[in-house]
């Protein structure tokens, strides 16, 4: 289904780019209006102020990620093994960020500016995400008790996975430039991202396996 663009969605997309480039402090409502092809009065009609517009952009990112993860939680089976669970987790991040590649750049800019709005983000997402670490920890514990998974902190596992997922998009402009100088045949298409999901999953599974020849949790 093709998503219909509305003036509000166009403003949010343009504002996101302006905030990425200049941060909340440096962004200007007139510059956002020019970028979106609307008049400044329309921005104030929808969002009242630059600060409210920034919060709306942040909320849109949160809601997009929540919706994507909710879809995966609905299909989660209590009998899923650790590999299946991690595959779901990795796939939803990669595919959602592929559809919204500027999300990581926006969050990096937010952190560079002090991360003062991150608490609201965490408060919004935490209730929805709590089941994921619980389920991962449960499967890790079972695997460690059986001796098939090495003793590892669930936190460090998730940080490693998130780092690999997010850096895929942070490094994308660098890879594109390298590809221009010495062609590597890299295309950021569906096949590339499917392979990226499997590569991250394999690295995670081999990293936690007590027996490096076995990656079943």
Q: What is the CATH number of the domain that holds 196?
A: 1.10.357.10
Question: Residues 150, 209: contact at Cβ < 8 Å?
Answer: yes
pLDDT, position 19: 93
Query: Global pTM?
Result: 0.80
Q: Report the distance separating Cα 81 and Cα 211, nearest Å.
A: 17
Q: Domain check: are 61 and 43 in the same one?
A: no
Domain match, 200 and 121 both: yes
> Structural domain tally of the chain?
2
Distance CA 2, CA 154 (A): 38
What domain range is 171 assigned to?
57-208
Domain assignment of residue 92, yes or no: yes
Do 104 and 32 lie in one domain? The reply is: no
Whether 214 is in a domain gets the answer no
Q: Is residue 215 a part of any domain in this protein?
A: no
133 vs 141: CA distance, rounded Å: 12
Same domain for 98 and 189, yes or no, is yes
In a domain, 169, yes or no: yes
CATH number of the CATH domain containing 21: 1.10.10.60
Question: Do 81 and 109 reside in the same domain of the chain?
Answer: yes
Asked if residue 98 and residue 154 are part of one domain, the reply reads yes
Phi, psi at 149, each rounded to 5° = -125, 135
Whether residue 64 is found in the same domain as residue 139:
yes
| Per-residue pLDDT at 1 | 44
Same domain, 14 and 36: yes
Can you tell me the distance from the alpha carbon of 27 to that of 47, in angstroms, rounded to the nearest whole number?
A: 15
CA angle (116, 22, 18) in 5-degree steps? 100
Task: Give me the average pLDDT of each 10-residue run along the chain (217 residues).
Answer: 72 93 93 92 91 90 81 75 90 91 87 78 64 79 90 89 92 88 86 96 93 54
Question: Do residue 109 and residue 195 come from a single domain?
Answer: yes
C-alpha span between 82 and 90 (Å, rounded): 12
Residues 6+ apart with CB under 8 A from 85: 76, 135, 136, 139
């Amino acid at each position: 289904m093709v998503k219909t663009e509305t003036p509000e969605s166009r403003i949010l997309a343009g504002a996101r780019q302006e905030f990425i480039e200049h941060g909340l402090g440096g962004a200007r409502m007139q510059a956002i209006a020019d970028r979106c092809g609307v008049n400044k009065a329309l921005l104030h009609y929808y969002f009242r102020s630059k600060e409210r517009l920034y919060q709306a952009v942040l909320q849109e990112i949160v809601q997009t990620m929540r919706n994507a993860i909710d879809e995966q939680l609905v299909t989660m089976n209590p009998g899923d093994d650790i590999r299946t669970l991690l595959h779901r987790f990795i796939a939803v991040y990669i595919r959602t960020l592929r559809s919204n590649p500027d999300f990581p750049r926006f969050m990096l800019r937010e952190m560079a500016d002090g991360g003062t709005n991150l608490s609201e983000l965490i408060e919004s997402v935490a209730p929805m995400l709590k089941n994921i670490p619980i389920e991962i920890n449960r499967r890790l514990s079972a695997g460690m008790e059986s001796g098939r998974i090495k003793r590892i902190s669930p936190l460090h596992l998730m940080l490693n996975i998130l780092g690999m997922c997010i850096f895929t998009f942070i490094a994308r402009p660098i890879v594109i430039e390298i590809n221009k100088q010495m062609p590597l045949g890299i295309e950021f298409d569906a096949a590339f991202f499917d392979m990226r999901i499997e590569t991250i999953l394999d690295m995670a599974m081999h990293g936690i396996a007590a027996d490096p020849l076995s990656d079943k949790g």
